[in-house]
Amino acid sequence: MLASLVLAAATAATPLAGLHYLVGSWDCTYQAGKMRFAYHATYASDIDGRILREIASFAGGGDEELVAYDAPHHRWTAVVLGDEGTETVMRASGSDPNHIAYRSVYPETNLAVTFDRISAKKYTLHGTFRSGGKTINSVDTCSRSLSSRA
């Protein structure tokens, strides 16, 4: 029992605890240039609150993302697994759960994504990547789903 309380206190003290408000359902819109589509994101706490798992679904596909905080190195790690079998590993320095500026480290290093908490019911993701010799800027805007219980 004491070990469980110590683990719970240690987990709550990590910066990842600052993202637990995301647990539940979100309705999102992705926009990059003329491309725009809606998707649904569902977050859950995993491994005793030490991992945040997001499953995104959209017409014709989806992906899964795992987010963790590496306290000894003071950095965030996000691993995105695409439904086509793709993977992307991103890292971000710092401990602020309200503003996380990721850079991809595997397999490419040309992706930057910044997470910004706007409120307990809204967040954005600003992305920049290179494709076909062009720099592509995107923004995801997500709002708490009305059907979410969280």
CA dist 142 and 116 (Å) reads: 11
The CATH number that applies at residue 10 is: 2.40.128.20
Please report the pLDDT score of residue 107 as a whole number.
Answer: 96
Domain assignment of residue 105, yes or no: yes
Q: Which of 6-10, 25-29, 117-121 has the lowest mean pLDDT?
A: 6-10
Domain assignment of residue 150, yes or no: no
pLDDT digits (tens, 9 = 90+) for 102-142: 999 999 999 999 999 999 999 999 999 988 889 999 999 99
Structural domain boundaries enclosing 109: 2-144
Domain count, the chain: 1
pLDDT digits (tens, 9 = 90+) for 60-94: 999 999 999 999 999 999 999 999 999 999 999 99
Domain assignment of residue 32, yes or no: yes
Domain assignment of residue 41, yes or no: yes
CA dist 24 and 96 (Å) reads: 21
Please report the pLDDT score of residue 49 as a whole number.
Answer: 87
Domain assignment of residue 125, yes or no: yes
Domain assignment of residue 36, yes or no: yes
Please report the pLDDT score of residue 131 as a whole number.
Answer: 84
pTM of the model: 0.87
116 strand-pairing partners: 99, 124
Segment 5-29 shows an average pLDDT of 77
pLDDT band at 147 (very low <50, low <70, confident <90, very high): low
CA dist 98 and 123 (Å) reads: 9
Domain assignment of residue 22, yes or no: yes
Q: Is residue 148 scored above 90 in pLDDT?
A: no
Question: Could you tell me the CA-to-CA distances from 97 to 22, 107, 135 in Å, in that order?
Answer: 11, 25, 27
Domain assignment of residue 73, yes or no: yes
Segment 18-39 shows an average pLDDT of 96
Whether 69 contacts 15, CB under 8 Å: yes
CA dist 23 and 62 (Å) reads: 18
CA dist 41 and 24 (Å) reads: 8
